[in-house]
Amino acid sequence: MIDLHVHSTFSDGTLTPTALVAKARAMGLRALALTDHDCTAGLPEFLDAAASAGRGADPRFTGIAGVEISAEVSPGTLHMLGYHIEPGHPGLEDVLRRIREGRESRNHQILAKLNGLGISLRWEEVAAFAGTDVVGRPHFAQALLSKGYVASRQEAFDRYLAKGKPAYTDRLRFSPADSIAAIRGAGGLPVLAHPFTLKLEPAALKSAVKELADAGLQGIEVYYPEHAPAQVRQYGELAGAFGLVATGGSDFHGGNNPAIEMGRGFGSLDVPDEVVDALERRRGASAARR
């Protein structure tokens, strides 16, 4: 069992990188990828913990340095996962810094919109829910819940924070091609996350994936908690059609989404162990071409 999509306190998760590794080991996972949103600051701690685990009782355990980049797309949203990236790579870090700066500006606009809706909320109250200085919409949702404006975090998104809702504000995003280039420039393998969020019909999604593959996409997230069996088949067929690695992960956020368990999603997620080896082979082939 493996999980190639988890988040830590360095973005919008509730467990530290070290705690994520400990949980993965306790569950018997063979591999774990830390894929924080637009941030690699947790990778040194994560890789140290993973290396220690690999020297321990189960030397097969692998920690994969990753990231999840938000890219510009319409009509839905597109997230680009990057695996086996070089932590601290200057080009990638510059892209991520610019994205985070755009998020910070967006956060203050969200706060102003919420205040304009009659919601008494201060920046300090929102930031208190962030594990690091990277504040995101989940922290606004927690703040709204704590002050009684909503009955759940999901309601906060449904009423205020989701795309098209009164407090939603867009932010700086790079194009999918630019995101792919940034990941590949850092020695990584770009993978399209949860394709259903693009909100494209099958023919349009196939066209979009072909365009991404032509730009250097290396994989597509086939196995994901919210993918119905028909979607798993559809995305698997796209992977085969364009020579992409079929990856998967839980999108684990800890207490910020307690319904999703690491490695198991809603209970039935099962990402094949062979995906790790497939990524390693693709990584080696990419390095040989450079």
150 and 44 both lie in a single domain: no
Confidence of residue 242 (pLDDT cuts 50, 70, 90): very high
Residue 166 lies in a domain: no
pLDDT at 113: 97
Of the pLDDT bands very low, low, confident and very high (cuts 50, 70, 90), residue 265 is very high
Same domain, 13 and 128: no
Strands lying side by side in the sheet with 2-6: 2-6, 31-34, 62-71, 78-83, 189-192, 219-223, 245-248
Task: Write the CATH number for 68.
Answer: 3.20.20.140
Task: Work out how many domains the chain is built from and give that number.
Answer: 2
217, 281: one domain: yes
Q: Are residues 266 and 238 in the same domain?
A: yes
Same domain, 91 and 114: no
How far apart CA 153 and CA 142 sit, in angstroms, is: 6
Q: Looking at the structure, do residues 264 and 127 belong to the same domain, yes or no? A: no
Whether residue 110 is contained in a domain is answered as yes
- What confidence tier does 39 reach under pLDDT thresholds 50, 70, 90? very high
pTM for the complete prediction? 0.83
What pLDDT, in 10s, does the model give residues 82-94?
Answer: 999 999 999 999 9
| Cβ contacts of 169-173, under 8 Å, gap ≥ 24 | 169/106, 169/109, 169/110, 169/113, 170/106, 171/70, 171/99, 171/102, 171/103, 171/105, 171/106, 172/98, 172/99, 172/101, 172/102, 172/103, 172/105, 172/106, 173/70, 173/71, 173/72, 173/99, 173/102
Calpha distance 232→145 (Å, rounded): 34
The answer to whether residue 233 sits within a structural domain is: yes
| Domain range enclosing 142 | 97-161
Judge if 69 and 110 occupy the same domain: no
User: Residue 170 domain-assigned?
Assistant: no
- Tens digits of residue pLDDT in 140-198: 999 999 999 999 999 999 999 998 899 998 777 789 999 999 999 999 999 999 999 99
Q: Residue 241: inside a domain, yes or no? A: yes
Give the burial class of 199: count Cβ atoms within 10 A of its Cβ; 0-12 exposed, 13-18 middle, 19 or more buried: middle
Q: Which of 161, 185, 210 lies at the terminal end of a domain, its last residue? A: 161
47 and 142 in a common domain: no
**Distance, CA of 107 to CA of 231 (rounded, Å):** 33
User: Do 44 and 55 sit in the same domain of this protein?
Assistant: yes
Task: Identify whether residues 155 and 247 lie together within a single domain.
Answer: no
